[in-house]
């Protein structure tokens, strides 16, 4: 038997850019599913680009969970972002086949070139760098995605050209 958790009267800072009615609608769409939290979090991130901290109390209340449970899931899974992503999402494959083909060197280069670590965003807000575990291009590594564009055999030079192209620089 699940205990009913009373909504807290504690005030959480709201983000005026977050449409809580949209979030509530998303939650209501999935809340009847067993294990609804992951589908809810995925749908919120798909809609907003990240899972804002201001949505955690609403998710917890609507799913009859504690805020700690919701926050724990968000922080456990690297897929969920707690801050808005950059304009372009760069995902570098870290699976074994790409590692064997030099992805560690590409990771180091990308971090230096963008000026951020994994799960970070470049200072100009253009690029968010994320790890990914297998893009299905195992024979053509190292591989990466920029937005929805898959690239194989990515060298440091190729990385630089792809980033410059996204920035609109020849």
- Please enumerate in sequence order all residues whose Cβ is within 8 A of that of 48, keeping only pairs 6 or more positions apart, or say none: 18, 22, 23
Question: What is the chain's mean pLDDT, rounded?
Answer: 88
| Long-range contact pairs involving 30-35 (C-beta distance under 8 Å, separation at least 24) | 31/62, 31/63
Whether residue 163 contacts residue 154, with contact meaning beta carbons closer than 8 Å, is answered with no
168 band by pLDDT with thresholds 50, 70 and 90: confident
Q: Tell me the torsion sign for CA atoms 9, 10, 12, 13.
A: positive
CATH, range 88-167: 3.40.30.10
Q: Which tens digits make up the pLDDT trace of 42-84?
A: 999 999 989 999 999 999 999 999 999 999 999 988 789 888 8
Q: Tell me the torsion sign for CA atoms 103, 107, 109, 113.
A: positive
pLDDT value of position 58: 94
15 band by pLDDT with thresholds 50, 70 and 90: low
Dig out the tokens for 136 from the structure. 């299905």
**Of 3-7, 19-23, 48-52, 78-82, the least confident:** 3-7
Residue 122 has pLDDT above 70, yes or no: yes
pLDDT value of position 127: 96
Q: Helix or strand or coil: residue 94?
A: coil
pLDDT value of position 92: 96
* Domain layout of the chain by residue ranges: 20-76, 88-167
């Amino acid at each position: 038997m699940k205990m009913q958790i009373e909504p807290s009267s504690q005030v959480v800072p709201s983000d005026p850019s977050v449409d809580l009615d949209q979030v509530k609608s998303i939650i209501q769409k999935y809340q009847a599913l067993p294990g609804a939290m992951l589908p809810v979090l995925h749908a919120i991130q798909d809609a907003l680009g990240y899972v804002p901290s201001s949505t955690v109390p609403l998710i917890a209340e609507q799913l009859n969970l504690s805020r700690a449970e919701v926050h724990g899931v968000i922080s456990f899974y690297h897929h969920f972002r707690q801050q808005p992503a950059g304009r372009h999402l760069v995902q570098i494959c870290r699976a074994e086949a790409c590692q064997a083909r030099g992805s560690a060197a590409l990771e180091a280069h990308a971090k230096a070139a963008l000026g951020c670590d994994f799960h970070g965003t470049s200072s100009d807000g253009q690029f968010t760098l994320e790890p990914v575990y297998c893009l299905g291009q195992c024979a053509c590594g190292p591989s990466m995605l920029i937005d929805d564009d898959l690239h194989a055999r990515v060298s440091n030079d190729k990385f630089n050209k792809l980033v410059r192209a996204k920035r609109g620089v020849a």
